[in-house]
C-alpha cells in the first residue's frame, strides 16, 4: 500500500511539475483566451438583442422567474444564443424552482467551459460556451439527480429548437 502511495506520489509530483511547465507556457495565451467564434463588441451588439448582449458578453443575470425557458418543457435542444453551439437537451432539464432553466448535465464534447468566479463575494463556478465564450450562468453541486450538478442557465443565453421526430407520420 505504501509502495503504491509512493509511486502515486512520484507520478503526481511529475504531473504537477509538467502542469506547472504547461501553465507557464500557456500563461500568456491564457490571458487572451481565444474562442473559435470571435467577434468584436460592436459585432456582438449587432447580432444580439440588448438583453442577450448584457447576459452573454457582460456576464449579466436575468431576473429569476422571468426567462422564457424557465418553465419550458418541450422536447428539443438548447443551443448557445450567441453562436448556435448545441449545449443541452430537454432530457437534461429539470424543474429546480430556482428561477432559471436548470440542467443536470451538458451535451458531451467539451462544449461548456468552467471558470472560477469570485465576484460578488462568492466562490462560484461560472459556465461559458466553449465555442464563443458567451456567459451562460453558473454550475452548482446541489443537483437533485444522480449527477449531483445543477447548471443554472439564463434563458437569454439559450436558443431552443424543438425535436424533429423521425419515423413518425401523421395519420
Ligand atoms: Zn456560443
Ligand 1 centre and the CA of 80: distance in Å?
Answer: 5
Between the CA of 162 and the centroid of ligand 1 the distance, in Å, is 19
Q: Which residues form the catalytic set?
A: 152
Give residue 105 CA to ligand 1 midpoint distance, Å. 17
What is the reported pLDDT for 84? 98
Give every CB contact of residue 112 below 8 A, 6+ residues apart in sequence.
Answer: 87, 106, 127, 128, 129, 130, 136, 151
Query: What domains sit in the chain, N to C, each tagged with a CATH number?
Result: 41-162 (2.170.150.20)
Collapsed DSSP state (helix, strand, coil) of residue 89: strand
pLDDT reading at 13 higher than 50:
no
Give pLDDT tens digits for 93-135: 999 889 999 999 999 999 999 999 999 999 999 999 999 999 9
Q: So what's the pLDDT on residue 168?
A: 55
| pLDDT tens for each residue of 16-55 | 333 434 444 444 444 567 999 999 999 999 999 999 999 9
Amino acid at each position: 500500500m505504501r509502495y503504491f502511495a509512493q509511486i502515486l506520489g512520484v507520478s503526481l509530483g511529475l504531473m504537477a511539475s509538467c502542469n506547472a511547465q504547461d501553465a507557464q507556457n500557456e500563461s500568456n495565451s491564457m490571458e487572451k483566451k481565444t474562442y473559435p467564434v470571435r467577434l468584436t463588441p460592436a459585432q456582438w451588439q449587432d447580432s444580439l438583442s440588448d438583453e442577450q448582449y448584457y447576459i452573454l458578453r457582460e456576464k449579466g443575470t436575468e431576473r429569476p422567474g422571468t426567462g422564457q425557458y424557465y418553465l419550458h418543457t418541450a422536447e428539443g435542444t438548447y443551443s448557445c444564443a450567441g453562436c448556435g453551439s448545441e449545449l443541452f437537451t430537454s432530457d437534461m432539464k429539470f424543474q429546480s424552482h430556482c428561477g432559471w432553466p436548470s440542467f443536470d448535465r451538458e451535451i458531451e464534447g467539451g462544449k461548456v467551459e468552467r471558470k472560477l468566479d469570485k465576484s460578488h463575494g462568492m466562490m462560484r463556478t461560472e459556465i461559458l460556451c466553449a465555442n464563443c465564450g458567451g456567459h451562460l450562468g453558473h454550475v452548482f453541486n446541489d443537483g437533485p439527480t444522480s449527477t449531483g450538478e445543477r447548471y443554472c442557465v439564463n434563458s437569454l443565453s439559450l436558443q431552443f429548437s424543438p425535436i424533429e421526430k423521425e419515423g413518425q407520420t401523421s395519420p
